Amino acid sequence: MFTSGYVSNEAAISTIAKLLPNCLILSDALNHASMIHGVRSSGVSKQIWRHNDLNHLEELLIAAGPDRAKLIVFESVYSMDGDVAPIEKIADLADKYNAFTYIDEVHAVGMYGNRGAGICERDGVMDRMDVIEGTLAKGFGVMGGYITGKKSLVDAVRSYAPGFIFTTALPPGLCAAATASIRHLKESRVEREAHQRQAARTKAVLRAAGLPVMPSVTHIVPVLVGNPDLCKKATDILLEKHGIYIQPINYPTVPRGTERLRVTPTPFHNDVVIEHLRDALVDVWETLSLPFSEPSVPEVEKAVRQQIFSAAGG
Residues that bind a copy of itself (CB under 8 A): 3-7, 10, 32-34, 36-37, 40-41, 135, 137-138, 141-143, 162-163, 165-168, 170-171, 173-174, 177
Catalytic residue list contains 138:
yes
26 within 8 A of 71, measured Cβ to Cβ: yes
For the bound state, the minimum distance from the C-beta of residue 5 to a copy of itself, rounded and expressed in Å, comes to: 7
Q: Which is nearer to a copy of itself, 28 or 130 (CB)?
A: 28
Q: Which is nearer to a copy of itself, 8 or 198 (CB)?
A: 8
For the bound state, the minimum distance from the C-beta of residue 145 to a copy of itself, rounded and expressed in Å, comes to: 9
For the bound state, the minimum distance from the C-beta of residue 203 to a copy of itself, rounded and expressed in Å, comes to: 25
Strand partners, 71: 25, 100
Q: Which is nearer to a copy of itself, 55 or 168 (CB)?
A: 168
Strand partners, 260: 224, 249
For the bound state, the minimum distance from the C-beta of residue 90 to a copy of itself, rounded and expressed in Å, comes to: 23
Q: Is 79 exposed, middle or buried (0-12, 13-18, 19+ CB in 10 A)?
A: buried
For the bound state, the minimum distance from the C-beta of residue 168 to a copy of itself, rounded and expressed in Å, comes to: 4
CA atoms of 20 and 45, how far apart (whole Å): 12
46, 70, 138, 203: the active-site residue: 138
Q: Which is nearer to a copy of itself, 135 or 216 (CB)?
A: 135
Cross-sheet strand order for the sheet of 145-149: 45-49, 24-28, 70-75, 100-104, 131-135, 145-149
Q: Which is nearer to a copy of itself, 165 or 208 (CB)?
A: 165
For the bound state, the minimum distance from the C-beta of residue 276 to a copy of itself, rounded and expressed in Å, comes to: 25
CA atoms of 122 and 126, how far apart (whole Å): 9
Q: Which is nearer to a copy of itself, 82 or 145 (CB)?
A: 145
Catalogue the active-site residues: 138
